[in-house]
């Protein structure tokens, strides 16, 4: 049986993790997210970056050598060793205003007790959303549309581009049809 190693990527708020989990559930295979490897566990989260060699070692220990998995999240500037393993890459696109609305909702759930600008978690959340708002124009450091498009052009596996505003069930069906 051929491998099913699927990578789901896109801007923050595009639904990358949601689709990754749903695909893994539909295929009954493990789901992994790059954030779990990129960031060291801290409280609050997303404060300290793990070294690249440690990310890749941990990914190898957890799942890379297995035949079937879904990986969601960006790794275009650090995951070269992983890219050759992909059978399919799903790139989700979503208009900026929709992504930012999703991010605000997600951040509000994540920092439930935060009431406003005096809470450091609120400021970190606002800074993150500000950074994410520049994905399309590429004026901030880190992942952006131009970089993702250039990275996608280098891949030797199948790449599909899907509209991340569609229902998750529809996105799963479209992706599974590509795998068939």
pTM of the entire predicted model: 0.91
The beta-strand segments (E) located in the chain are 4-10, 31-33, 68-72, 88-93, 158-163
Tokens representing 174? Answer: 């479209």
3-class SS of residue 96 = helix
pLDDT of 133-169, one tens digit each?
Answer: 999 998 888 888 999 999 999 999 999 999 999 999 9
Sheet containing 88-93: order of strands:
31-33, 68-72, 4-10, 88-93, 158-163
Of 85, 8, 104, 30, which is closest to residue 114 (Cα–Cα)?
Answer: 104
- Look-up: residue for tokens 């690249």? 52
**Cα 95 from Cα 10, distance rounded (Å):** 11
Of 6, 3, 23, which is closest to residue 83 (Cα–Cα)?
Answer: 6
Would you kindly state where each structural domain of the chain is located, as residue ranges?
Answer: 4-95+144-179
**Cα 19 from Cα 28, distance rounded (Å):** 14
CATH topology of domain 4-95+144-179: Rossmann fold (3.40.50)
| Phi, psi at 49, each rounded to 5° | -80, 135
| Phi, psi at 13, each rounded to 5° | 90, 5
pLDDT of 34-90, one tens digit each?
Answer: 999 999 999 878 889 999 999 999 999 999 999 999 999 999 789 988 999 999 999
Tokens representing 161? Answer: 């581009």
> Is the confidence at residue 120, as pLDDT, over 80?
no
């Amino acid at each position: 049986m051929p491998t099913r190693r699927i990578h789901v990527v896109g801007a923050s708020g595009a639904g990358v993790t949601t689709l990754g989990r749903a695909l893994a559930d539909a295929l009954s295979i493990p789901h992994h997210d790059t954030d779990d490897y990129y960031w060291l566990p801290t409280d609050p989260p997303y404060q300290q970056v793990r070294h690249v060699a440690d990310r890749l070692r941990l990914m190898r220990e957890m799942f890379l050598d297995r035949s079937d998995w879904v990986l969601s999240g960006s790794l275009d500037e650090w995951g070269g060793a992983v890219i050759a393993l992909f059978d399919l890459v799903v790139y989700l696109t979503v208009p900026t205003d929709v992504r930012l609305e999703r991010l605000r909702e997600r951040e509000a759930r994540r920092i439930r007790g935060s009431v406003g600008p005096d809470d450091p978690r609120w400021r970190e959340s606002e800074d993150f959303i500000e950074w994410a708002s520049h994905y399309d124009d590429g004026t901030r450091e880190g992942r952006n549309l131009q970089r993702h498009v250039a990275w996608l052009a280098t891949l030797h596996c199948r790449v599909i581009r899907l509209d991340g505003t569609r229902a998750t069930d529809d996105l799963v069906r479209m992706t599974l049809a590509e795998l068939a």
